[in-house]
Structure 1
Amino acid sequence: MKSPRFPVTDDHIHIDPVNGRGIEAAKDFLRAGGTHMFLVSKPSWSLSVHPDAGPDYARVFDETLRVADLIAETGITVFPVLGVHPAEITRLTERMTLDEAVEVMKGGLTCAAGYVSEGKAVALKSGRPHYEVAPDILAASNQVLTHALELAADCSCALQIHAETGPCTDIVGLAGEARVPIERVVKHYGSPDTPLHPSLIAKHEGIEQLVREHRRFTMESDYMDENSRPGAVIGPKSVPRYTNKLLEQEKITVDDCFFIHAETVEKVYGVPIRLS
């Protein structure tokens, strides 16, 4: 395999050897031209973890780090992102009170922040349900999100946000109160209209315009790696393939590739993006 001319970074991907294709999916990413990935921890239930307290999430995080080590052996640079999926609140309230669920999720995020502080992960993940919920669930979810922002400030790390479709403008105020730089608050599955940092699905129609405007954004596949949903959201080859397609069509340049996949990533996450 020839050395890549430029880095290609997937800002949000899951690799799951238990429920999906695992390392073979990561190798697909590599063969397509991918060089760096942000490996995001999966929801607890997908790994048969049913937390009753914050430290129970350590099983999810340890599995994420184990998979990261396996992926790194292929030659891909892996940056773990750990957190508590916002849909956990719906699952948890099936077997405990809303207040208890909030405390469990906050505890899970505190646990994740410990990994970041120890240098085992580079960023946190939180948010609020992307589906319609009752007002009390939404208010509780925003409490959890606020805690995540405060932890990100304490750790001086980025926070990936999983939330409803749209700009999520109100999170700017929450981030300001927590003293997290807004460019380090990443709207996963984002859109160009967000004031947060947009992480766009690789095939997003707004990418070309953002390139022309020289606006910062990152690209992701949100590949779930679940055999029950093959290829969802889009496949592991998508970010490198789409980047190369834009390059071949002369809609972006090699300099643009470095700006998107290296310079912007370094600014948001504070990690080095280098070609070996």
Structure 2
Amino acid sequence: MKSPKFPVLDDHIHIDPRNGRGIDAIKDFKRSGGTHICLVTKPSWSLDVHPSSGEDFAAVFDETLAIAKLIEEEGIVVFPLLGVHPAEITALTPRLTLEEATLVMKEGLDCAAAYVKDGRAVGLKSGRPHYETSPEILNASNQILFHALTLGGELGCAVQIHAETGPCDDVVEMAGSAGMDATRIVKHFGSPETPLMPSLVAKHESIPELCQQKRKFTMESDYMDENERPGAVMGPRSVPRQTTSLLQAGKISEEDIFRIHQKTPEEVYGVEIRI
């Protein structure tokens, strides 16, 4: 196989050998020109973990890192992002009080922060529900998100957030109060109008225009790797294929590719990206 001419990073992808294609999906990613991924932890229940304390999330993080090692054996560079999916609060509250669930999720983020501190992960994952919920749960979720941003500020690491569709303007003020640089908050499944760092799905129609503006953003598939939902949200080949397609069509340049897939993620995650 020829060496790639440029790096291609998928900024939000799940690989799940238990419930999905696992390493076969990574092989597709590599064959299509992919070189680097941000491997994001899945919700605890998808790995058959049902936390009652923050330390229980360690099983999720350890399995994520074990998967990362398998991926690296295929020649793909992995940047793990560990944390607590915002939908955990909906899963926890039937068996815990809202206060208990909030504490468990904050402690789970503390647990993830320990992995970042010792170099086993490059950043945290957090957010708030992207679906309709009660004001009480939304308030608790914002407290959890604020805790994640505080940890990100203390650690000097990125925080990737899963939240409602839209700009999430209020998170900038939240980051300022938490002592975190908002330019290192990645809005997963983002949109151009967000003041945070947008991670755009590979098919996003604004990518050529944003490249003309020299805007900073990353690209993602949000591939879930679940056999029950094959190809959701996009397949593992989508980021490298779309990058190559846009280049061949003259809609983006190699300079744009290096900004999307190397320079921007290096700045956001504090990593080095080479091919």
Q: Corresponding residue for 2:27?
A: 27
AA aligned opposite 1:143:
Q
The 10-residue stretch of structure 1 (65-74 or 204-213) with the greater mean CA deviation from structure 2: 204-213
Shift of 1:207: 0.8
The Cα offsets for residues 4-60 of structure 1, whole Å up to 9 and x where unpaired, read as 000000000000000000000011100000000000000000001000000000000
The answer to whether the aligner puts 1:88 opposite 2:88 as a matched pair is yes
1:116-195 maps to which residues of 2 (within 5 A)?
Answer: 116-195=116-195
1:251 to partner: Cα distance: 0.7
Paired with 1:152 and 1:256, the residues of 2 have a C-alpha distance of 28
> Take 1:269 and 1:121, find their aligned partners in 2: how far apart are those partners?
10
Q: 1:198 aligns to what?
A: 198
Deviation at 1:164, TM superposition (A): 0.3
1:107-118 mapped onto 2 (5 Å cutoff): 107-118=107-118
Cα distance in 2, alignment partners of residues 149 and 71 from structure 1: 28
Return the offset for 1:159: 0.1
Give the Cα–Cα distance (whole angstroms) in 1 for the partners of residues 87 and 259 of structure 2: 33
TM alignment of 1:66-105, pairs within 5 A: 66-105=66-105
- 2:258 corresponds in structure 1 to 258
Q: Secondary structure at the match of 1:133?
A: coil
The whole-number CA distance in structure 2 between the counterparts of 1:183 and 1:242 is 25
C-alpha displacement of 1:252: 0.8
Q: What CA deviation, in whole Å up to 9, does each residue of 1:67-112 have, x standing for no partner?
A: 0000000000000000000000001001010000000000000000
| Equivalent pairs, count | 275
Q: Distance in 1 between matches of 2:208 and 2:179?
A: 32
> How far off its partner does 1:189 sit?
0.3
Q: Deviations over 1:182-233 (max 9, x none)?
A: 1100000000000000000000011111101000000000000000100000
Moved over 6 A (4+): none
- The aligned counterpart of 2:232 is 232
What's the TM-score, normalizing by structure 1?
A: 0.99
Q: Which amino acid aligns with 1:215?
A: R
* CA distance, structure 2, for counterparts of residue 206 and residue 136 of structure 1: 35
Counterpart AA for 1:156: G
SS at 1:203 equivalent: coil
Q: After TM superposition, give the deviation of residue 256 of structure 1 in Å.
A: 1.0
The match for 1:215 is 215
> In structure 2, what is the Cα distance between the partners aligned to 1:154 and 1:117?
10
Counterpart residue number, 1:241: 241
- Gaps of at least 5 residues in structure 2 are none
Show structure 1 runs of 5+ residues with no match: none
Counterpart mapping for 1:32-43 below 5 A: 32-43=32-43
- 1:179, distance to aligned residue in structure 2 (A): 1.6
The letter for the 1-side match of 2:104 is V
1:241 shift after superposition: 0.2
- How far apart in 2 are the matches of 1:167 and 1:189? 11
Distance 1:31 1:109 in 2: 35
CA–CA separation in structure 2 for the residues paired with 1:76 and 1:170? 35
State how far apart, in whole Å, the 2-side matches of 1:205 and 1:129 are.
Answer: 25
State the alpha-carbon separation in 1 of the partners of residues 234 and 61 from structure 2: 24
What secondary structure sits across from 1:194 in the alignment? coil
Q: Is the aligned partner of 1:2 residue 2:2?
A: yes
Q: Which amino acid aligns with 1:120?
A: R
Q: How many Å separate the matches in 2 of 1:259 and 1:87?
A: 32
> Matched residues, percent identical?
67
Secondary structure (helix, strand or coil) at the match of 2:69 reads helix
1:96 is matched by which residue type in structure 2?
L
SS at match of 1:239: helix
Q: Distance in 2 between matches of 1:53 and 1:242?
A: 41
- Once residues 237 and 269 of structure 2 are traced to their aligned partners in structure 1, the CA distance between those partners, rounded to angstroms, is 22
